[in-house]
Amino acid sequence: MAYETSLKHLRDLNNVIDTARREGVEEGRAEGIESGIKQVAIKMLNDGLSSEMVAKYTGLTLTQIESLANNNRVCETTAGYKSEKPRKKRK
């Protein structure tokens, strides 16, 4: 009887672990998808698309998009410059 109780307890623990693992994988997958959508939205904003257009194609709310725009603002590119080493004169 104690052996059967022990086996039942072990099976219950294994079921709990399997369930937790499945839930963790599902949660991680959902977070990854959300992260990918946000990265695409940032790229769209950086390419000059309007917030409304980004919302239409990503499914994010305008509030979420404005938050992304404020937190990930791209600075203007700097002016190009040339850095040349002085050349030695040939003899």
Q: Report yes or no on 90 lying in a domain.
A: no
- Whether 7 shows a pLDDT value over 80: the answer reads yes
Q: What is the pLDDT of residue 77?
A: 53
CA 39-48-35 angle, to 5 degrees, is: 10
Q: Over range 39-43, report the average pLDDT.
A: 93
Distance CA(68)–CA(61), nearest Å, equals: 11
Q: Report yes or no on 79 lying in a domain.
A: no
Give whole-number Cα distances, 11 to 4, 16, 20, 53, in Å.
Answer: 10, 9, 14, 51
Return the percentage of the chain with pLDDT > 70, whole number. Answer: 84
Question: Does the predicted model carry a pTM greater than 0.85?
Answer: no
- Whether 40 shows a pLDDT value over 70: the answer reads yes
Q: Report yes or no on 19 lying in a domain.
A: yes
Q: Report yes or no on 86 lying in a domain.
A: no
- Pair 64, 54: CB distance under 8 Å: no
Which pair of structure tokens corresponds to residue 9? Answer: 């307890």
24 is in which domain, residue-wise? Answer: 2-71
Number of structural domains in the chain: 1
pLDDT digits (tens, 9 = 90+) for 53-82: 999 999 999 999 999 988 876 555 555 656
